[in-house]
Amino acid sequence: MGVTEKNQTERIAELEHRLAEAEETLEAIRQGAIDAVVINGPTGEQVYALEGPDHPYRVLVEEMHQGTVTLDPDGLILYCNRQFAAMVKTPVEKVIGFRIHLFLTEDEEPAFSALIATAANGHSQGELNLLAGNDGLVPVLLSLNKLEMSGIENLCAVVTDLTEARRNEAIVKEEQLSRLILEQTAEPVIVIDACGKILRAGEAARRLAGSNVLFQDFSAAFQISDQEGSVTFSRLLSGVRSQRGWRSVEVTMNSRQGQAYALLLSASPLWSPGRELLGCVLTLTDITHRKLAEEELARQAAALAQSNSDLRQFAYSASHDLQEPLRHLAIYTELLQQKYEGKLDLEADQFIQRTIEAAHRMECLLKDLLSYTHAADSPQGAAASADANAVLAKVLGTFEQRIAREHAIITSDPLPALRVHEVHLSQLFQNLISNSFKYHGNAPLKLHIGADHAEDGTWRLSVEDNGIGIDSRYHQQVFGLFKRLHGSSRYTGNGIGLAICQKIVQRYGGKIWVESTTGEGSIFRFTLPGEDSPYAKA
């Protein structure tokens, strides 16, 4: 076969192919299987629809403000207008031919399925969120209608963007909320405009003013003054504009009824979006009662301090003034003994001896009374933080020789920092440990100093020994002044140590007590404020 013949065969094949296509097209048109025809008219391409004059409707659908989609029963988007595509921030080509579920989040799917199901009865409507663009959501109102088209029940949805409506709703709700708050709050709240006129006043504010102060001049309705004088509206404004502002400033007010109030004034400015001062919001907290209580407390504290001071004075001069005649008593009785010992009868010697001992004992008692009076007094004022471990170490140092000699075993927990004067803490440990040494039984002394935290930030310390113990009947008495449980022969001391401990502990708001049984050792416990305790007081 020659070249031209080959060409011819190819040409014929191509022509046949084109003919077949053209015939198919004509056949399709004849069968009515098409919607429209595209014609190259004199003014460009024209589309001629074969199904009636739908042009105005098409324009309407394309141009309308709402979005619209035509869906098949499974949610396949067969058609969408420009608005819908814009609403979901997706180009039209990426919408048509895709399922609407692409624009639904997982939690919206049940709602959407429900809408579709209801639309089967003709119509359904509901609010949903659609995914818009990469990360956004757009709240919409979906209105679905059944649309039967050539045997298939498609759905036509009109999609209305609710973003604007929602925003307005939110604003209205906020306004309602702020009104409620203003009305119901127990604190007087007032809103003033830039000219000093009261625009809003809650119920509490009206009560404070004694009348309905709405639309009145602020300075007239509330006669307020602070340290610098009368708080006029202009002072209020300049304060509100400045950095300082009005934050819980103590002021006084005289109401129309002649009542005096102590108040805390706070005011914040209201700015317009253009930084223009629209007015300010004021709160007045009534602290009248609190101030009265404070004054009463201060008065009582002063009275108490005076009383204490008086007592101290009394105790001091009493013991001081008693010391001198006592000294004389002791001296002359000693002289008596020196001169007449053995020169009178035996009884006389005994009487003189007893008198001397009594005088000496009384001197000790007076000395102890003096030290008890002064105990816990100085240093005055609030304490710095004391490291209990260091204090204990120093105190134990003074017992060093005794510990070695008696083979005593001393242990301790790690101790906290306490808000107590070191000298007081030292005295506490000194007295308690001294007692433990004094009253230990036959076994070598075992002493343990412990510490644990109580719930309220105070610390509970303990000094535990294996000594002779204290019968429960006397657990209170041991802290009394000059109370001794044992005769002076076996154990020395005047019994004032524990009383001093109690005085010290009480100064810091704590308590001291003992847990003990005869023959089974004792645990002395006492509470003191920790470094950070809110109860630490001078």
Find residue 80's DSSP bridge partners.
69
Q: Which is nearer to another protein, 96 or 322 (CB)?
A: 96
- The correct pick among 66, 72, 261, 525 for binding another protein (CB under 8 A) is 72
- With CB under 8 A as the contact rule, which of the stretches 37-45, 307-315, 326-334, 516-524 interacts with another protein? 37-45
Which amino acid, 294?
E
Q: Which is nearer to another protein, 78 or 111 (CB)?
A: 78
The verdict on 309 binding another protein (CB under 8 A) reads: no
The verdict on 9 binding another protein (CB under 8 A) reads: no
- With CB under 8 A as the contact rule, which of the stretches 125-133, 144-152, 223-231, 263-271 interacts with another protein? 144-152
Give dist(CA 363, CA 354) in Å, integer: 14
Q: Which is nearer to another protein, 24 or 174 (CB)?
A: 24
Q: Which is nearer to another protein, 39 or 302 (CB)?
A: 39
Query: CA 368, 373, 376, 380: dihedral to nearest 10 degrees?
Result: -140
Q: Which is nearer to another protein, 97 or 136 (CB)?
A: 97
Q: Which is nearer to another protein, 44 or 397 (CB)?
A: 44
The verdict on 37 binding another protein (CB under 8 A) reads: yes
Q: Which is nearer to another protein, 73 or 110 (CB)?
A: 73
- The correct pick among 1, 3, 5, 33 for binding another protein (CB under 8 A) is 33
Contact between 278 and 193 under an 8 Å Cβ cutoff? The reply is yes
Query: C-alpha angle with apex 92: 95 to 110, nearest 5 degrees?
Result: 30
Which amino acid, 377?
D
Collapsing DSSP to helix, strand or coil, 454 comes out as coil
Q: Which is nearer to another protein, 93 or 135 (CB)?
A: 93
- Beta strands 446-453 and 409-412 are parallel
Q: Which is nearer to another protein, 35 or 175 (CB)?
A: 35
Find residue 446's DSSP bridge partners.
409
| Size of the residue set binding another protein (CB under 8 A) | 36
The verdict on 34 binding another protein (CB under 8 A) reads: yes
Other C-beta atoms lying within 10 Å of the C-beta of residue 512: 20
The verdict on 36 binding another protein (CB under 8 A) reads: yes
Give dist(CA 159, CA 154) in Å, integer: 16
Give dist(CA 496, CA 487) in Å, integer: 15
Question: Between the CA of residue 312 and those of 317, 373, 377, 481, 510, what are the distances in Å?
Answer: 9, 7, 10, 16, 21
Task: Tell me how far, at minimum, the Cβ of 11 lies from another protein, in Å.
Answer: 16
8-state DSSP, 530: B
CA-based torsion, 375, 378, 383, 388: positive or negative: negative
Task: Tell me how far, at minimum, the Cβ of 200 lies from another protein, in Å.
Answer: 55
Q: Which is nearer to another protein, 93 or 400 (CB)?
A: 93
- The correct pick among 7, 9, 19, 24 for binding another protein (CB under 8 A) is 24
Q: Tokens 């060409």 belong to which residue?
A: 7
Contact between 10 and 1 under an 8 Å Cβ cutoff? The reply is no
Token output for 117: 């199901």
Binding mask 41-70 toward another protein (x if CB under 8 A, else -) reads ---xxxx-x-x--x---x--x--------x
- With CB under 8 A as the contact rule, which of the stretches 88-96, 232-240, 393-401, 526-534 interacts with another protein? 88-96
Task: Tell me how far, at minimum, the Cβ of 123 lies from another protein, in Å.
Answer: 19
In 105-245 the beta strands, taken as DSSP E runs, fall at 123-132, 136-149, 152-161, 189-193, 198-201, 224-226, 229-230
Q: Which is nearer to another protein, 92 or 141 (CB)?
A: 92
Task: Tell me how far, at minimum, the Cβ of 33 lies from another protein, in Å.
Answer: 3
Binding mask 145-174 toward another protein (x if CB under 8 A, else -) reads ----xx-x-x--------------------
Residues sharing a CB contact under 8 Å with residue 292, sequence separation 6 or more, in sequence order: none
- With CB under 8 A as the contact rule, which of the stretches 32-40, 112-120, 173-181, 374-382 interacts with another protein? 32-40
Give dist(CA 7, CA 267) in Å, integer: 98
Site residues (CB under 8 A) for another protein, limited to 227-266: none
Find residue 197's DSSP bridge partners.
217
Burial 244-268 (b: 16+ CB within 10 A, else e): eebeebebbbeeeeeeebbbbbbbe
What distance separates the 2 farthest-apart alpha carbons in the chain? Answer: 177
Alpha helices in 148-217 (DSSP H): 163-184, 203-209
- Beta strands 189-193 and 198-201 are antiparallel
Binding mask 382-421 toward another protein (x if CB under 8 A, else -) reads ----------------------------------------
Residue 317: its H or E element: helix 288-340
- The correct pick among 21, 175, 296, 406 for binding another protein (CB under 8 A) is 21
Q: Which is nearer to another protein, 52 or 487 (CB)?
A: 52
Binding mask 92-121 toward another protein (x if CB under 8 A, else -) reads xx--xx------------------------
Q: Which is nearer to another protein, 70 or 333 (CB)?
A: 70
Question: Between the CA of residue 40 and those of 22, 28, 37, 192, 274, what are the distances in Å?
Answer: 17, 20, 10, 72, 58
Q: Which residues bind another protein (CB under 8 A)?
A: 21, 24-25, 28-29, 31, 33-40, 44-47, 49, 51, 54, 58, 61, 70, 72, 76, 78-79, 92-93, 96-97, 149-150, 152, 154
